[in-house]
Structure 1
Amino acid sequence: VNIGDEVTVRVTEIDSQGRINLSRKDLLPKPEGYVEQPFDRGPRPPRAGFQRGSAGPRRDGGGDRRRR
């Protein structure tokens, strides 16, 4: 696609800031024998809680300080 080309697109979303998301793929013909799969992410694994100080010891690296 080049500047000035006219293409057919589908509006997929207009967000809260008024930005428009477009899709050209949605309008392309599906390949022969294509079967659309249902979208299922399945159950989410439990998230580990964030704990300060669990990252291990800090390294002293002070930018351009002189080393002795």
Structure 2
Amino acid sequence: MEEDSKPSRDAQRKLNPKMKEVVRAEVLKLLDVGIIYPISYSKWVSPVQVVPKKSGITVVKNEKNELVPT
């Protein structure tokens, strides 16, 4: 990182409810295994970017309230 770069703090873009739940589940999973960790404040913040897979598979909740690919 260069000394003269300025911090960037962008707001999160709105996600549809299904994608929001998928992102939430993934973040919780990454927190549980220790890949990511919470911080109270950072000057550098980027919004989550959701990119659909090329296969066109999406994730939805089934009757047991589990997230499953369709």
Is the shorter-chain TM-score for this pair beyond 0.5, marking a shared fold? Answer: no
Bigger strand fraction? 1
Give the structure with the larger helix fraction.
2
The TM tier, using the shorter chain, reads under 0.3
* Structure ID, larger Rg: 1
